[in-house]
Chain A
């Protein structure tokens, strides 16, 4: 029990929204996501099962039937095994699925969960969209980077500089996809749309991203689709950095547009730009009132 004087002191305190403004509110939304992620470590472990299946079974299976691997030249240049080729793709897959699934939780949250608490709070709703995007991106990035522990088993060497670059590039990809997920979720009013997003967006994005096969020498229509896929520009730099350091001929798989190989920085810029546009869409949607 407090004394009357204390109570009065409490009551006169103005509650006029968060002290730290937009940044403070973004931090709170992000912080909540991170606590939840940290607390749900069982899920973190379980979600590694799928990438491992791809890497070990799919990778090994296809590697056996493809024989020598990818990118070997007629002149006798060494190629990469299929397992090695899809290793960065599997990391990206983990990022893609975590980012989009994470964002979909907003739809549920909005109707019944904690999202309502945020929507009635005296904060700029832009903070919700930005905080959720950054929270989802952080989780997706960690889910992708955990798979780096498999590098020695795949035969990829990790130099500290490579790790640094991969961390940055994985975050870029995670940010772009998380922003896409949040933008989609901000327009969805029920979980029914979820299956649609899954079948008509996530899976095509994944298959057309270069995660499972090189985006070179494809039929024209497919080349166009892969070049329109923002995920392609996120995965390619991760592969080039991760496998390039180990001396693999990654330039042979790099994305080209009109026969020009894009620099890694340009690819990252494409993903960041895409993410920024999606984030803007999400912010607009959150700020709208019915």
Chain B
């Protein structure tokens, strides 16, 4: 049975239609990625699934429970890692987990055992009694991930879990997530606008302007582009093109003095090509179509970081305001 079932989901804010009819199924134990630019409707969808927003139309079931009918039951079965830290930075790491455990009814000895265990997984055991205020962005995110799974949720929702972190820290976060997934069998549902991060997902839904434009494994999606691209630098482009066409039955493209060959499986084709082509090759490169290419092809525009949103502005204002009062 699918842990998340969404059909015909719509969310309108007045005139604005943020989500325009989304259908998807997420299977237990899966890492499901929601990929799209800012404002595509990712956060709105995740907020509906987490019972923070009500859908305007359509149906969403999480862990088999309708999000509109019994939000409390859904909430006790999910964990959440927000885009913005929702830790209490005046409390210690341990206290934050303690508070969470109490709220979710994880009692006494079990709670203490669980907190110790998770602090070890995210490598924060030695900082358990430090105030969260003193933590780096990466440490906060790790703590939030530990907190998100403290009560054994069936599904952990992560909204841009590595936003604003450096590549090394992002990789570490993924190590922890995979570790938790292995140990706990938790389903991960995440949003991201990092293409490379989407590669870690079992399946991806590409969302643009409130609609899912493609859904599948990263490989399936990239196959929509039609395989790999081999680029050759040769002394005689025309002769090379003729040879390739004759020997392999592929019509290459000559672009700016180089030869581009699109093949379904470049890795196995490349050695053959080099071995059998009777023309001197100066250089050769093999590239796989990226999810960027997929997104570009499907939507006609690239995913890019957009200008500061209202929320970003408020974030900054708030920081200033709070900074002055501390």
- Residue numbers of A with Cβ under 8 A of B are 1-2, 6-7, 10-11, 13, 15-19, 24-25, 28, 32, 35-36, 39-40, 43, 108, 111-123, 190-191, 289-290
Contacts and interface: CB of A to CB of B under 8 A. Distances in A.
B326 to A, nearest CB: 8
A112 B321 contact: no
Contact of A15 (B50, B95, B105, B315): B105
Contacts of B82: 116
B61 interface: no
B53 A32 contact: no
B314 A120 contact: no
Interface stretch (B106-114, B165-173, B222-230): B106-114
Interface string B293-312: 00000000000000000010
B91 A108 contact: no
Interface stretch (B28-36, B71-79, B249-257): B71-79
A289 B52 contact: yes
B105 A11 contact: no
B84 A16 contact: no
B106 A13 contact: yes
Nearest to A189: B314
B51 interface: yes
Contact of B184 (A11, A119, A191): A11
A13 B110 CA distance: 9
Contact of B106 (A15, A113, A118, A190): A15
Interface string B86-117: 11101100010001101111110010011001
A32 B86 contact: no
B318 interface: yes
A40 B90 contact: yes
Given A36-B91, A112-B315, A10 B53 contact: no
Contacts of A15: 76-77, 104-106, 151-153
A3 to B, nearest CB: 12
Given A10-B152, A11-B152, A123-B103, A36 B75 contact: no
A115 B103 CA distance: 13
A114 B103 contact: no
B152 A2 contact: no
A108 B88 contact: no
A108 B104 CA distance: 23
Contacts of B85: 112-113
Interface centre among A39, A108, A122 (most CB of B within 10 A): A122
A36 B106 contact: no
Contact of A289 (B54, B104, B152): B54
Contacts of A25: 103
Contacts of A123: 103
A103 to B, nearest CB: 15
Given A32-B88, A117-B86, A289-B53, A122 B99 contact: no
A122 B75 contact: yes
Contacts of B75: 120-122
A19 B105 contact: yes
B152 to A, nearest CB: 6
Contact of B117 (A2, A117, A122, A289): A2
A190 B316 CA distance: 13
Given A108-B322, A289-B71, A18 B314 contact: no
Contact of A18 (B91, B103, B120, B311): B103
B80 interface: yes
A51 to B, nearest CB: 18
Contacts of A11: 152, 184
Nearest to A42: B326
B247 interface: no
5 contacts: A11-B184, A32-B99, A39-B131, A120-B52, A289-B52
B87 A114 contact: yes
Nearest to A123: B103
Contacts of B86: 112-117
Given A7-B183, A122-B72, A290-B53, A108 B318 contact: yes
A1 B322 CA distance: 40
